Structure formats: C-alpha cells, structure tokens
Chains A and B, each alone.
Chain A
Amino acid sequence: MAKRHFDIKAQPGFAFLAMFTFAALYLPIATLVAYAFNASDSVSIWGGFSLKWFVEAWNNSAVQDAAWRSLVVAFFAAAIATTAATMAAIATTRTEPYRGLSFKYAFINQPLMVPEIVTAVALLIVFSRIKVWTGYSGLGYLIIAHTAFCIPFAYLPIRARLESMDLTLERAAADLYATPWMAFRRVTLPLLRPGIIAGFMLAFVISLDDVVITEFVKSGGQDTLPTYMLGQIRRTVTPEVNAIATAFLALSVVLVTAFFFINRQKT
C-alpha cells in the first residue's frame, strides 16, 4: 500500500481556526449589510428585501451635510498631508544619514505612537482656547487636526517609492543640463506619481474613517459621517444607520481595492 502523503506544512487544527477567523471577520459585516436591505422597521425582524433605508438616508439632510463635510475635510487634509509628506520624503530619503534625520522620522511618525483619545483631548484643550481667542470656529480645526495624523500615512508609500527609485535617471537629467527643478518636475515627479497617489488615497481613507479626534475637535453642528453615526448608534437603531454604514463600507472597499492595485503596479 502506498504511504499516505505527509504534508510538512500542515499543522492540525490550523486550517479550521483560519476558516473560523475569516468567518468571524466577515459574518458581522455581512449581518450589517443584510439588515440595510431589510424592509421592516426593526433590525431584528426580516421583512423582505428593500432599498427604502438607502432612499431614506439619501434624503436625510443631516446625513447629506455630514457626508459632504466628511469628503471636504478628507480631501483637504489628504491633499495638504500628501504635499507635506512628499516634500518631507524627498528630504529624508536617498541620503547618507545626517544630523536631525532620526529626529525627523520620530516626529513624522509621532501621531502613530500616541493613543488617539490622548491627542483628541489635547487638541480639545488647545483648540477650545483658540476658538475663544479668535472667534473662528470653522472647519479649519478639523482639517489641520486630520492633516497631522494623515501625514505619517501619506509619507509611508511615498518614501517606499522613492527608496526603490533609480538615482541614475536624475543624474542623467542633470548631465543633459536640466536644472534641479526641471529634473524634479520631468523625471522624479512622474516616477513618484504612483507613490503619491497611493499616499493620497491612504490619507483620504484615514481621514474619512476618523471618529475620535473629530468628535473632540468639531464645533457644534460639524458632524462628519462617522460622528453622526456614533450619535445615532447611541440612540434608537433603525436600519437607516445600516444603510449609511453599508454605503460607507462600499466606498472604503472601492478605495482600498484601488489602492491595492496601484501599489502593486511596478514602474
């Protein structure tokens, strides 16, 4: 009789636990999405398929405002963060270590090291005073707060891209009498583009998802979509929140998928 094949990579029970993990990761999300399509008013009883909660959410002016505000804040925060991160990445890669380099690394990554709630209350302290002093209470506070924690995320893919780039191309440009600016504009920047796009998208998603810092920094009537949902979840839960969450989820999945493909694409 032939000896049974012995798989050296297998470990007993591991495949089962892995399948359990994947099921556990997706089951709650699937439940949430399913109830978004529920025709009944409650999130417990299934009343048949319906899109009415999406229509309801779409026509809810509070949701519209919050969604629009989320997009505006995310767009500006991601754009500023990506610009600042690109400049910082150029100054901190492809060089011999120099004085202040590790300081810059630590500083840029600082927002990742501190618990969000701590940054949130620190910002509350400072901004509440500035709001009193200046009388300004617009979206600027949210945008600058988001920009700060978006920078490390934008910086990551841009730096990775720069480090894998070929230095000789820029040298060739210089040999052909390109000024440093032209070499940057015509050679470095186009090569860097996938990194910059990836950085922007990452920053955009991170800003869009933020709950804690927004909750503490926002002035009255400045709900973003996540803080609006947080408020709703605490009150009575109707499938409308599920519908908003599902739409939000769809947007995130699209962005992440796009990010995945952009990041995979080689030069």
Chain B
Amino acid sequence: MATAAETARQGETETIRRRWLLSAPALVIIFVAAVGPLFVMLAYSFMARGDYGDVKFGQFSLDGWFSVFFQRDIFDDTVTLADAHLSILWRSLRLSLITTVLTLILGFPTAYFIATRPRHTREIWVFLVTIPFWTNLLIRTFAMQQVIRNEGVINTLLRALGIIDQPLQIMYTDWAILFGMVYVYLPLMVLPLYASMEKLDFRLIEAGYDLYAGRLSVLWRIVIPLVKPGVIAGSILVFIPSLGAYVIPRVLGGGKNLMLGNLIEMQFGSGRNWPLGAAISITLMVLVMVALLFYVRNASKSGAQHG
C-alpha cells in the first residue's frame, strides 16, 4: 500500500503533468508560428543566397551578415561600409527617437490632464484615447495621409489663409513618416503615463507648494520623479514599434525614405537576397532586445526605489 508521502508525491507529479498538458496547445502554436521560424531565419542568415530568392539550402556563407555592414566593389573588390544600409539604420534610430520625444511632449500633459479630471469623467477621456489605439494602424496611417497630402487638410488650409502659394511637399519625406509615427503611437505613450499618474498622491504636490515650491519645480522635482516608471514604459512602448515600423514608412515615405522594416522587405522581394534580409531582421531584433533590457533594468531599479 502506498504511504501518504508517496501518494502526495504522485499527486504532485500528476499536477505538474496536467499543467504542462494544459499549456501545451498555446506553447506549440507559438513555437510553430512565431518562435520556431525565428530560429530557421537565424540559420538562413548563414546560408548562401539563391539565384532567384530563397537560399542554397545547407550551403554555409557569411555573405548575408557581411553585406549588412559592408559592400564589396564589383570591379576591384575593395571593401567599404555599406552606406545605404547604415543610413537607413541611422534614419530608423533617429526617427524613432524623435517620435518618442514628441509623443512624450504631447502625451505627458495629456495624461496629466486626464489624471486631474474628476473621477467620473476620467474614464471618458481614457476611452477617447483607447478608440484610436484600437483602430487599425493602416487606417490611421491612411487618415494621416489625407491630412498631409498636397491637396490635404493642412495644405488646403494654409493656401486658403494665403500663407503659401505652392503646396508644402510633406508626403514622401521623413516629415511624413514622423507625423505618421507620432500620430499612430501617441496612445501608446498616453496610456502607461496615465496609469502611473492615476496613482499620484496629490498631497505631495500640496506639500511642495506649502514649502514654497513654484509650479515648475513641483513638476520637475515631484511629479516627474514619481511617474518615472510610466515615462520609461511609454517611451519603450513607442520606441520599439517605431524602430520596426513597416506600414507607416511604406505608405507615407513612398518607397524612397526607407526604414529598417522596408529594407528587410526589399531583400525578400526585388532584392532577392534572403540571407541579407534575415541578417537585417536579426539585427533589428537585437536592437529591440537591447531597448527591452534597458527597460527591465530601469524598471526594477525604480521599483526598488519606491519600495
């Protein structure tokens, strides 16, 4: 007969098995259609490119990785930095950073405004931010296109006011991408900021004023340090999708002003260089991981500070 301890252990093994069985469908699906393919792509980045796209299966080559950063002259074999790729990398980083700063400048006051409304109206304001957030990204990009087109709202308005004669060419420039990304990712900044401002203890602000602090120093020395986790979370949530943006630069940048996402697509389309595309994809993923690690480190630090 089994002892009580044995029965307990058996029950435990049973529980463990049941838990894995229950999680299995989710884990298997994600493995098959998300995690697994990433490993295949990693392998592809180390293979020789096929003549008509795809790769020469099993044929090891470092050409893909080499051409992410360098190019070889076809005539004299001299190796130079791949300016085209590096300038696209630089544009992606620069535009993502500017987008993050601009969404912060607009999002911070907005979140603060919502957090200081009476309790029953706050939900409505939050809801107003949530609606665009859940609206299809492509539709929002398209909506921005209608505003900044040559015959769009901005140009029509400026011409009607007599400020300009010729339409401002905003479409197909970096400005268009910037407008689009700020517009599309703004809710991603406001929502986490609001989440941390909602918990703000306004007695601390009152105490600040009692101690003769001005408005600016209350903001700078009380509010901002307290909502720092929200600022970091919002910035990461905006920066990461901006870096990997594909639809926005494709629609608004018009094929000339590429970002990393479009460069990747090109290698799988007209470029017919899958190993290079795979290598750039992994580079992009590493950049995102670095940003996430930065976030995790900062989040745990500021978490520890507040107990």
> Does B183 sit at the interface, judged by CB under 8 A?
yes
> Does A139 sit at the interface, judged by CB under 8 A?
no
| A7 nearest in chain B by CB position | B116
| CB-contacts of B258-307 with A (<8 A) | 260-261, 264-265, 268, 274, 277-278, 281-282, 284-285, 288-289, 292
Return A202 CB to nearest CB of chain B, in Å: 9
> Does B27 sit at the interface, judged by CB under 8 A?
yes
| CB-contacts of A229-244 with B (<8 A) | 229-230, 233-234, 241-242
Verify A249–B264 contact, CB threshold 8 A. Answer: no
Return B233 CB to nearest CB of chain A, in Å: 13
Verify B127–A21 contact, CB threshold 8 A. Answer: no
Which among B31, B37, B129, B281 has the greatest number of chain A C-beta atoms within 10 A?
B37
B contact residues around A92 at 8 Å (CB): 19, 23
> Does B44 sit at the interface, judged by CB under 8 A?
yes
B contact residues around A11 at 8 Å (CB): 109, 112, 215, 219
Partner of B186, one of A21, A149, A155: A21
Return B286 CB to nearest CB of chain A, in Å: 10
Partner of A229, one of B138, B146, B241, B250: B138
Return B132 CB to nearest CB of chain A, in Å: 5
> Does A256 sit at the interface, judged by CB under 8 A?
yes
Verify B113–A18 contact, CB threshold 8 A. Answer: yes
> Does B137 sit at the interface, judged by CB under 8 A?
yes
Verify A25–B129 contact, CB threshold 8 A. Answer: yes
Which among A28, A90, A245 has the greatest number of chain B C-beta atoms within 10 A?
A28
B contact residues around A205 at 8 Å (CB): 134
| CB-contacts of A187-242 with B (<8 A) | 205, 208-209, 211-212, 216, 226, 229-230, 233-234, 241-242
Verify B265–A121 contact, CB threshold 8 A. Answer: yes
Return A220 CB to nearest CB of chain B, in Å: 14
B contact residues around A35 at 8 Å (CB): 146
Given contacts A29-B143, A31-B153, A229-B142, contact A119 B34 (CB under 8 A): yes
Verify A252–B136 contact, CB threshold 8 A. Answer: yes
State the CA gap A44–B153 with chains docked (Å). 9
Verify B132–A114 contact, CB threshold 8 A. Answer: no
Return A189 CB to nearest CB of chain B, in Å: 14
Verify A211–B247 contact, CB threshold 8 A. Answer: yes
Return A107 CB to nearest CB of chain B, in Å: 6
Of B58-66, B68-76, B80-88, B202-210, the one touching chain A: B202-210
> Does B114 sit at the interface, judged by CB under 8 A?
yes
> Does B128 sit at the interface, judged by CB under 8 A?
yes
B contact residues around A28 at 8 Å (CB): 140, 143-144, 146-147, 183
Given contacts A88-B26, A92-B23, A151-B30, contact A125 B278 (CB under 8 A): yes
Verify B29–A21 contact, CB threshold 8 A. Answer: no
Give the number of residues in A that approach B within 8 Å (Cβ atoms). Answer: 87
State the CA gap A22–B113 with chains docked (Å). 11
Main secondary structure of the interface of B (DSSP, over half): helix
Partner of B37, one of A117, A126, A230, A245: A126
> Does A76 sit at the interface, judged by CB under 8 A?
no
A contact residues around B264 at 8 Å (CB): 117-118, 121
* Interface positions of A (Cβ within 8 A of B): 6, 8-15, 17-18, 20-22, 24-29, 31-32, 35, 42-44, 80-81, 83-85, 87-88, 90-92, 95, 98, 100, 104, 107-108, 110-111, 113-126, 128, 144-145, 147-149, 151, 155, 205, 208-209, 211-212, 216, 226, 229-230, 233-234, 241-242, 245, 248-249, 252-253, 255-256, 260
Question: Which 3 pairs between the two chains have the least Cβ-Cβ distance?
Answer: A115-B244, A18-B113, A44-B151
A-B contact pairs, 27 of them (CB 8 A): A8-B202, A8-B205, A9-B116, A14-B109, A18-B109, A29-B139, A31-B143, A32-B142, A32-B143, A43-B146, A107-B35, A110-B35, A113-B288, A115-B261, A115-B285, A117-B244, A118-B281, A119-B34, A122-B40, A124-B268, A145-B33, A148-B34, A149-B34, A205-B134, A209-B134, A234-B251, A245-B143
* A26-B132, A125-B40, A209-B134 given; 10 more Cβ-contact pairs under 8 Å: A15-B113, A17-B109, A28-B147, A32-B142, A104-B27, A111-B30, A148-B33, A151-B30, A209-B136, A253-B135
